[in-house]
Amino acid sequence: MAFADNLQQLPPIDHLAELQLIDAQGNVAATIANVPGKAGSVRLYAALAAKHGRINVAAAQEGLELFAEHTESARQHPGSHPNIDRLLQVIASGQTYDVKLIAR
């Protein structure tokens, strides 16, 4: 399935302003705003966190599958898809992120 099709299977995120990824030291490592161009990543990360409890290796692997055609593009063009690059880094390093959902 394509990324757009996969997104339709995930819970809506209209109530969210942004999503924060919290590293092992408790610092905000990244913020993904719920804005056009980023909303798909917010929706996917929120669903992964709900299912897995955090962004860990299992969540990252599932996320790469859900990002579908964008995952291959990210592998071919590092830096062009930072939210996919982050999942690849989680798999490579075993690092985890807690997820904080920020309501509108």
pLDDT digits (tens, 9 = 90+) for 7-26: 999 999 999 999 999 999 99
User: What is the CB-side half-sphere exposure of residue 63 using CA atoms within 13 A?
Assistant: 31
User: How many structural domains comprise the chain?
Assistant: 1
pLDDT the model gives residue 52? 98
pLDDT the model gives residue 1? 85
> For 47-60, what is each residue's pLDDT tens digit?
999 999 999 999 99
Select from 101, 102, 98 the least CA-distant residue to 29: 98
**What's the pTM value of the predicted model, to 2 decimals?**
0.95
Residue 68 has pLDDT above 90, yes or no: yes
Select from 82, 78, 104 the least CA-distant residue to 37: 82
Q: Which residue has the tokens 């920020």?
A: 102
* Residue-range definition of the domain harbouring residue 45: 3-103
